[in-house]
């Protein structure tokens, strides 16, 4: 079997890998790029519309984002919108539902009002919507039994709130890359990589079929599998993966906007929110839950072996987990989310979270969204003895990059790819068309002054 050669080899056919494939072929003088995906189609896991909340996160309504973090995320989100508007030729990849951050009770309402004051400079379209206006914008949120809710409520409202079909966006990136003139672009599906090696100044990847791929630069953007492949190549020895599965519940269509709730600052996971679903227009989706599972893919027990290889349990890892479980808020959160997955009991437990958003829904109105789930790989840094927040990346300057997870998820995939583009261009001495990049995405977003 002949070895296949290319300048850059990308492992992972989700939104992270495909966004990099697009940027490399569109804005550099790279000659050849190969992308490999273990399944028989692109976006098979977390990028699929059924595996995420379809939200374009900007940082306005996410209360766990500081002003600085929100500014960074907003730039990343703007790149995604720019691609859809100016490049994709398909405006149905996005949908404007509008969005709001709901405060329930005196303390949460104070948080919402303060955030509105502090973040207006970043988001000029946000404003406070009082209970009376909420009864018009979202009557199912503001009213209970046809009357105003007894609790104090207020919302930070942004009429510019976007949902994105990240699965179809992934396909669009790949299609645009394959259209680039003068580029040798190869996408090999059903190709699972089992071994990585650096041979001289080349990287070698061996597929389960025995096929060998070689490239001057290797990028692994394989989600939960990235750390496993990094360890096969001798990197990431200080890291352990902690796969967190997020599931959803469906209810009848009761929301016109994306409605988020105030985040507990101690928790690294999103608070429960309600979203109109792009793929199920007659339903509202509530979630996600957050359940730690010893698998790299939900509903795929065979991936438990890969989890064990990349978890690398030792006393440092145990120490991080012990410190997490000592906190009663985190402990309660873990037990609560475990309960959400239990048949019958799960619905009865989860309805309390739903009722914070829509008080009139009953347990009979919601149903577990079967196989509507994804896995977000959180990383434990055993040397620092802490759970890593945000993005996780290994870029040692040795013509290899391992992307474990962008932050916040698919929203930042294109921006993360632009950072990888710079690293690849510097190390392979490629020329980047900065003028064209800045024209589409803005100089700030792509690092052009």
Domain boundaries, the chain: 4-47+166-239+391-446, 99-159
Give me the phi and psi of 119, to 5 degrees please: -110, 5
Q: Which residue has the tokens 């404003």?
A: 127
Q: Which two tokens stand for residue 360?
A: 């009139």
40-54 burial, b if ≥16 CB within 10 A, otherwise e? eebbbbbbbbbbbbb
Two structure tokens written together for 97: 């539902």
Of 239, 228, 369, whose CA–CA distance to 303 is shortest? Answer: 228
* CB contact at 8 A, 148 and 59: no
Instruction: Give the pLDDT score at 423.
Output: 97
3-state helix, strand, coil in the chain (%, to 5): 40, 30, 35
Nearest 5°: phi and psi at 116? -60, -40
Determine the Cα–Cα distance for residues 342 and 224; give it in Å rounded to an integer: 24
pLDDT value of position 70: 94
Report d(CA 22, CA 13) in Å as an integer. Answer: 12
Instruction: Kindly give, in sequence order, each residue whose CB lies less than 8 Å from that of residue 202, ignoring residues fewer than 6 positions away.
Output: 214, 215, 216
- Which residues partner with 273 through β-bridges? 287
pLDDT at 268: 62
Q: How far apart are CA 287 and CA 261, in angstroms?
A: 11
With a CB cutoff of 8 Å and minimum separation 6, the contacts of 350 are 249, 286, 289, 340, 366
- Name the DSSP letter for residue 430: P
| Other beta carbons less than 10 A from residue 385's beta carbon | 12
- CATH superfamily of domain region 4-47+166-239+391-446: FAD/NAD(P)-binding domain (3.50.50.60)
Residue 350: phi and psi, rounded to 5, are -70, -25
Look at the chain and count its residues: 449
Q: What is the pLDDT of residue 390?
A: 66
Q: Is 26 helix (H, G, I), strand (E, B) or coil?
A: helix
pLDDT, position 235: 94
Q: What is the DSSP secondary structure assignment for residue 145, as one 8-state letter?
A: T
pTM score, two decimals?
Answer: 0.94
Encoding tokens for residue 113?
């009002």
State pLDDT tens for residues 214-266.
999 999 999 889 999 999 999 999 898 888 888 899 999 999 999 999 988 77
Please give the Cα distance from 24 to 253 (Å, whole number). Answer: 41
Rounded CA gap, 182 and 148, in Å?
63
pLDDT at residue 321 in the model: 81
- 207 three-class SS: strand
Phi, psi of 102 (to 5 degrees): -95, 125
**Helices 345-357 and 328-340, axial angle in degrees (round to 10):** 120
| Low-confidence spans in the chain with pLDDT less than 70 | 268-269, 389-390, 445, 448-449
Give CB contacts under 8 A, 24+ apart, made by 277-283: 277/54, 277/250, 278/49, 278/54, 278/95, 278/163, 278/165, 279/49, 279/50, 279/165, 280/250, 281/253, 282/252, 282/253, 283/250, 283/251, 283/252, 283/253
Residue with tokens 């599931």: 247
Q: Under 8 Å CB-to-CB from 442, ≥6 apart: which residues?
A: 75, 78, 79, 82
């Amino acid at each position: 079997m002949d070895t296949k050669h290319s300048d850059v080899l990308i492992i992972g056919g989700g939104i992270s890998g495909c966004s990099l494939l697009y940027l490399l072929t569109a804005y550099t003088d790279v000659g050849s790029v190969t992308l490999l995906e273990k399944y028989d189609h692109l976006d098979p896991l977390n990028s699929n519309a059924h595996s995420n909340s379809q939200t374009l996160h900007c940082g306005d309504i996410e209360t766990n984002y500081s002003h600085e973090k929100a500014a960074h995320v907003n730039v990343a989100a703007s790149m995604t919108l720019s691609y859809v508007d100016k490049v994709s030729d398909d405006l149905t990849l996005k949908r404007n539902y509008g969005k709001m951050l709901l405060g329930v009770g005196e303390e949460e309402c104070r948080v919402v009002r303060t955030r509105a004051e502090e973040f207006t400079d970043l988001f000029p379209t946000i404003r406070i919507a009082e209970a009376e206006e909420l009864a018009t914008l979202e009557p199912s949120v503001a009213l209970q039994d046809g009357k105003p809710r007894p609790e104090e409520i207020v919302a930070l409202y942004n009429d510019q709130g976007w949902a994105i079909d990240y699965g179809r966006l992934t396909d669009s990136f790949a299609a645009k890359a394959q259209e680039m003139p003068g580029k040798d672009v190869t996408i090999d599906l059903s190709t699972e990589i089992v071994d990585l090696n650096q041979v001289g100044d080349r990287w070698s990847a061996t597929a389960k079929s025995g096929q060998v791929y070689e490239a001057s630069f290797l990028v692994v953007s394989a989600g939960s599998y990235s750390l496993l492949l990094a360890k096969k190549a001798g990197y990431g020895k200080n890291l352990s993966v902690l796969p967190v599965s997020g599931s959803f519940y469906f209810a009848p269509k009761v929301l016109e906007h994306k409605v988020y709730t105030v985040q507990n600052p101690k928790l690294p996971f999103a608070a429960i929110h309600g979203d109109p679903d792009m793929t199920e227009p007659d339903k509202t989706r509530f979630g996600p839950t957050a359940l730690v599972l010893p698998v790299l893919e939900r509903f795929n027990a065979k991936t438990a072996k890969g989890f064990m290889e990349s978890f690398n349990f030792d006393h440092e890892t145990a120490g991080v987990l012990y410190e997490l479980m000592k906190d009663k808020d985190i402990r309660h959160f873990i037990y609560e989310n475990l309960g959400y997955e239990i048949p019958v009991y799960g619905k009865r437990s989860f309805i309390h979270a739903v009722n914070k958003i829509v008080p009139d829904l009953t347990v009979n109105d919601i149903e577990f969204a079967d196989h509507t789930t994804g896995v977000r790989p959180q990383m434990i840094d055993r040397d620092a003895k802490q759970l890593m927040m945000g993005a996780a990346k290994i870029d040692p300057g040795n013509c290899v990059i391992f992307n474990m997870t962008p932050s916040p998820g698919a929203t930042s995939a294109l921006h993360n790819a632009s950072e990888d583009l710079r690293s690849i261009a510097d190390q392979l001495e490629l020329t980047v068309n900065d003028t064209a990049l800045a024209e589409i995405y803005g100089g700030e977003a792509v690092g052009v002054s």
